[in-house]
Amino acid sequence: MAQVEEKPGVATRTLKNYIGGRWVEAEGSGVIDVTNPANGELLGQVPMSGPSQVDEAARAAREAFPAWRATPPVERARACFELKYLLEEAKDELATLVTRDNGKAIKDASGEVRRGIECVEVATGIPSLMQGSNLEDVSRGIDSDMIRQPIGVFAGITPFNFPFMVPMWFLPFAIACGNTFVLKPSEQDPLASERTFELLDGIGLPAGVVNLVHGGKEAVNGLLEHPGVDGVSFVGSTPVAHYIYETSARHGKRVQALGGAKNHVIVMPDAELESAVDGVLSSAFHAAGQRCLANSVCIAVGEVYEPLRRANLAVGPAQIEHLTVGELAHREPVFPAGPEIHFSLYRSNTRFGYAACEYSLISPPRIVRRCTRAAVRSAPRWCLIRVGRQFFVRLAHVHGDDRRRIDQRANGGQRLPVGLSERIGRRDDNQARIN
């Protein structure tokens, strides 16, 4: 991560916070450069906001809550419809911002923007989604009613790898339900969030319903500890998720903390080989592996092992362009190499290597080392392997199709503490079901 420092003489744009319906200059401990990972172009500087501006944003959200909570759900949904319309108009601009700011290929960025807009679309259905239920005479003389009510002020703390989509997991649902919201986006790629709030500023929300505060750990701690914040939603690395959860709970907040994971692709004996290989490679290498659903372990079940091994689960420079891998959002060392690290691809012009980070690359990656063919046998089972100018997915073998052995290989056998998903290549649905 770039060093936080005061840069009074740099003639570049410094991002502002959006608090109480106004764009305001940040007050804090300095700025961090926002650069294009592909070419180092300076895109702007993000301020490290201090406790005073976190407090200002939380207070603005708290003051806006009573009136917004009393706004009929259909009117709140109407605001989401207006936001969706503006996002649809700006979808290409947003995808370009994500690519320049984060480094992912434009195809991946466009897909991310589409998924984010779909979240807003779902939130427009809140008049139905928030409906409760009732049952008369659950006991003698007792009726049961269930209602859903807004809670108050929610904070969203979001990661670098999906700078547009993940904020849309939280913000539209929070405001559609009648809550008010403070977003603290990743300081590594905040431009998509800034543009989103420019669009939000144009739909006529009451001041304080949505707020944007840039910053780092100091801003995060300010939100976790602020008495005016009722709940926190977080996506990021597993260690930080633990910290967010523990700190928020200690301060009496509702919290959802989504950490990292590592995943497998399981190829069953009846799988169509060409489709399976394509699935393995796209899962491992798309978005440069910077996503929690990326895999780096392929488990071949039974007789499919040999043809899959001969298929050469590798990707070199030509295929890299075909797979639109893109750039890593961050390359500087953050985590030391250790047993809880997996590997992913990085690319810089014509130089190839591989990078590592805690579990799912939901944190800035670290370039670790380069492998030779002789080192492949001793490489960790959960890593992508580099030999020469190619990258290989580690291939594990399970003899037969015993479900217990497949499950052991996919979990304890690979020493993976957290698993988020498994992708299964098969023709027979019944054969693919693994308990």
Catalytically active residues, by annotation: 292
Compute the radius of gyration of the chain from its Cα atoms: 23
Q: From the CB of residue 306, how many other CB atoms can be counted at a distance below 10 Å?
A: 11
Stretch (H or E) spanning 44: strand 42-49
Contacts of residue 404, Cβ cutoff 8 Å, sequence gap at least 6: none
Count other Cβ atoms within 10 Å, centred on residue 388.
12
Residue type, 194: E
DSSP 195-251: HHHHHHTTTTPPTTSEEE---SHHHHHHHHH-TT--EEEEES-HHHHHHHHHHHHHT
Closest among 206, 274, 185, 266 to 432, alpha carbons compared: 266
Q: CA nearest 187: which of 347, 3, 327?
A: 3
The answer to whether 279 and 423 are in contact (CB under 8 A) is yes
- CA distance linking residue 195 with residue 233, whole number of Å: 21
Pair 416, 382: CB distance under 8 Å: yes
Nearest to 231 by CA among 60, 18, 62: 62
Task: List the one residue out of 17, 16, 20 whose CA is nearest residue 58.
Answer: 20
Of 107, 154, 359, the C-alpha closest to 241 is 359
Q: Which residue has the tokens 């670790």?
A: 368
- Mapped onto helix, strand or coil, the DSSP state of residue 141 is coil
Task: For residue 242, give both structure tokens.
Answer: 């633990």
CB atoms within 10 A of CB 196: 27
Which of 82, 84, 112, 115 lies closest to 99, judged by CA? Answer: 112
Cβ proximity of 53 and 213 under 8 Å = yes
Task: Determine contact, residues 335/341, Cβ cutoff 8 Å.
Answer: yes
